[in-house]
Amino acid sequence: MSPALSRVKDLPRCAWPGEDPLYVAYHDEEWGVPEYDDRALFEKLILDGFQAGLSWITILRKRDNFRKAFDDFDPVKIARYDAKKIAALMNDAGIVRNRAKIEGAVKSAQAYLVIMEEGPGFSKLLWSFVDGKPKMNRFRSKGQVPTSTPESIAMSKELVKRGFKFVGPTIVYAFMQATGMVNDHMITCHCHATCGQPKRQRKTSRKAS
C-alpha cells in the first residue's frame, strides 16, 4: 500500500463505510457536501427512492448503470418515458428492476418540471426547509443520529403533495444527510469540520423548457 493510500485509510471517519474503497471515497468526497444543483439533487432523490428496502452501497455500485439507463437523470427525458421505455428498464439487469420505483421516477420527474416551470426552483424549495444553509449536528455515536426529523417530515409532505413518489420522511432524511442539508458526520470524523461548508455551491440549473 502506498503512503498516500495508507494515510487515507488511517483517517478518522464515520464507521458506516467500513473499508470498502468505493464506500470510503463516497463518504470522504460526496456524503454531506452541500449540493445546490437542481438536477444533481433530483438524481440523488430518485436514487434514494430506489434504495428503499436496500442498502446504499447496492445503489452506489449500480449508480453508473442507473445514469446510463435513466439518460443521466435528465428530468425532461424521464418525464416522457412511455410503456416501451419502462419495459426496457424492467429488463435492464444493471439497475434495480422495481416497476413501482421506475414508474415513481417518471412521476417525480413530471413533478420536478412543474416546480422548475412555476417556481421556486427545486434547489431553492428543498433548501428552504433548512433556511438555505447546512444544519451542523455534533453527534458522537450512530445511536444519536435520527432516522427522521421535523424538517424531513415537512419536506416529505411537500414533495408528496407535489406528486413525488418514494419520498417518505426516512428516505428524505437520508437524502438531506447525503446532500449536506444536515452535517451528520460524527464529530470525530475528519469530514465533520469541512463538509458543512457550502464550498461547492453552484448556480442552479436553468428552468426546464
Could you list the residues known to form a binding site, using ranges: 14, 27, 185, 189
The Cα–Cα gap between 27 and 191 comes to 8
Residue carrying C-alpha cell 428552504: 128
Q: Are 143 and 126 in contact (CB under 8 A)?
A: no
**What are the backbone angles phi and psi of residue 132, rounded to the nearest 5°?**
80, 5
Contacts for 28 with CB less than 8 Å, ≥ 6 apart:
8, 11, 13, 190, 191
* Binding-site residue ranges for Zn(2+): 14, 27, 185, 189
The Cα–Cα gap between 175 and 80 comes to 25
Contacts for 198 with CB less than 8 Å, ≥ 6 apart:
34, 36, 133, 134, 180
Q: Are 73 and 42 in contact (CB under 8 A)?
A: yes
Q: Are 155 and 176 in contact (CB under 8 A)?
A: yes
The Cα–Cα gap between 143 and 162 comes to 33
Kindly list the distances between the CA atom of residue 20 and the CA atoms of 15, 57, 103, 142, in Å, as whole numbers in the listed order: 11, 9, 32, 19
- Residue 13: strand, helix, or coil: coil
